[in-house]
Chains A and B, each alone.
Chain A
Amino acid sequence: MKQIVILITVFVIVVIAGTWELSYIKDSSNMFLSDISDIKQIIERDDYEDAQKQAKQLKETWLDIRKSWSVLMDDSHMDNIEEKLISFVHYVHSEEESKAKHSAESLANAIKQSINFQELKPENIF
């Protein structure tokens, strides 16, 4: 009986922790994706001064997110996101609209892929 209780407790803890982990990653990434989308709109308005300020802010937000994601996610995914973020910030600073928009897309895709990789789906299991 004691063993069954321990077994169920461990199972419940793993399921709750796993669900929390996924929702935390999704929430923080949605916030990040929305910031990227905002910067894209600012670039479209040609307000590079504000875009650069927001891009700097985005980099700082990423550094905060990275701290918590490093416990939950594989390093290679975060390195990929960071690489794309650096090139996005670079194009925003150099005021290259098309390249900045393109790198914003690829940054958003890298984040979505990383989140997708964490979801409990048959293709992730097998």
Chain B
Amino acid sequence: MLVVFVRALILFLVLFVVIRLMGKSELSQIQPFEFIIIVVIADLATGPMSDRNMTMLHGIIPILALLFMYMILNFLLKTNKKIQTMVSGNPVLLIANGKIIEEEMRKQSYVIEDIMSQIRSKGIFKIQDVAYAILETDGELSVIDKKEITGSIPLNVINDGERLEGNLEILKMTDDDLNKILKSKNIEEQNILVATLDENNKFLYQKKGGGN
């Protein structure tokens, strides 16, 4: 009994340190692949916690290996847009101007009731009252009430020098439209830290290194 108790305490401490090193403070912030890693880590910890025939190191070493892989993947996600898109996907527009975009809803394996429950949790009870609902990469549905919108909604079109094709599609704009805007502002895409654009072509940006 005492051995099992001490093993459980040690594994708890290992899990605590690993989760802290993963740097996630809220479960709602996690990406699907992070959720899988957390579930696998938890499963690896329960083996040596309850099974005395398993050495503790056989539980701890795979946990540390997963943490190592997670840190490498996280680094790649932060530095490479293509990997980020491949692993986390892009935000998806599910509702625009009070209408569900059916094709996207089915692609995301959503049903009407999923959308309804999420918009109700934001205090909106009719789809017609939703200006936009965007399914974020962490699974959270960002809902914008029509009442809150005075003009059109701005979306990020460039993040850290990388073009966000998905948001351009939402704004019903093409690459050429953005190229024209960039040319008129006389700025290179790769020099932009963040740029937003709305349906009225209002383009706001911040240069890398702090300039506007």
The interface of chain A, by Cβ under 8 A from chain B, is: 14-15, 17-19, 21-22, 72, 74, 76, 117-120, 124-126
Where chain A touches its partner, the secondary structure class is helix
**At the interface, yes or no: B72 with Cβ under 8 Å from chain A?**
no
The interface of chain B, by Cβ under 8 A from chain A, is: 1-3, 5-7, 10, 52-53, 55-57
Choice from A17, A76, A126 contacting B1 with Cβ under 8 Å: A17
Q: Which 9 A-B pairs have the closest CB atoms?
A: A18-B2, A18-B1, A120-B2, A126-B56, A124-B3, A21-B1, A14-B5, A125-B6, A120-B3
Q: Give Cα A124 to B6, complex, Å.
A: 10
Known A76-B53, A125-B3; further 10 A-B contacts with Cβ < 8 A: A14-B2, A18-B1, A18-B2, A18-B5, A21-B2, A74-B52, A120-B3, A124-B52, A125-B6, A126-B56
Which of B2, B3, B7 has the largest count of A CB atoms less than 10 A from its CB? B2
- Assess whether B3 is in contact with A118, with CB atoms less than 8 Å apart: yes
Q: Contacts A18-B1, A21-B1 given: A120-B6 contact, CB under 8 Å?
A: yes
Contacts of A118 in B (CB 8 A): 3
